[in-house]
Amino acid sequence: MFTGLIQDVGVIRGIERAGDTRIEIDTEFDMSEVAIGASIACSGICLTVTDKKSGRFAVEVSAETLSKTTLGDWEKGHFVNLERSLKLGDELGGHLVFGHVDGVAEIISRLPDGDSTRFQILPPRDLAKFIAPKGCITIDGVSLTVNEVEVSANKTIFGVNIIPHTLEHTGFGQTTPGDKVNLEVDMLARYVARLLPDIDECKT
């Protein structure tokens, strides 16, 4: 489990595609403190450390994960938002993030908004019902607050504001319109939606 507060921006060092895909990532993490088998959120995807050396670690990715995330588009030199998993007693500074990507969204626009940057994002249609103004959302592993949700006949677009610190210390600094991003909706929203049919049934 994670919080959506990015601790490092790693860089893809190499990718080997044979059976499962092996990805090696350069990082500023002290790898002596990271155990083999530990979980690290890589742009929002919970992955297991299978090998490590000073300044880098490797993960192996299944075809299922490749098909459900942006990971299949990663190349050498790609920036990756990194966060180590929570320990009991750690401060929960963002919101509860599970590292289970729900779908791939698309950046529609990027515009200055005061000192911040406003991003508009198009989510998959089946996830739109879980996104609400002032609710939590995880984009490429970053915990963010939804500013607004615009609903039209055939699509839903939502907006988030990225402050300068977050823009500088995450991969959002390199994100441009047309880019695809990993999206994890708030788990509480999922449970509420799951319970709604039962609540409606109790009212009848």
Portions of the chain given CATH number 2.40.30.20:
8-84, 103-197
What CA–CA distance (Å, rounded) separates 201 from 204? 5
Q: Does domain 103-197 have CATH number 2.40.30.20?
A: yes
User: Please, are residues 170 and 179 in contact by the beta-carbon 8 Å criterion?
Assistant: no
What CA–CA distance (Å, rounded) separates 62 from 78? 19
Three-class secondary structure of residue 104 per DSSP: strand
What CA–CA distance (Å, rounded) separates 185 from 101? 8
Kindly state the DSSP code that residue 99 receives in the 8-state scheme.
Answer: S
Q: What is the pLDDT of residues 137-184, one digit of tens each?
A: 999 999 999 999 999 878 999 999 999 999 999 999 999 999 999 999
What CA–CA distance (Å, rounded) separates 44 from 141? 3
Q: What is the CATH number of domain 8-84?
A: 2.40.30.20
Per-residue pLDDT at 202: 41
Per-residue pLDDT at 143: 95
Give the residues of the chain that fall short of pLDDT 50: 199-204
What CA–CA distance (Å, rounded) separates 82 from 77? 15
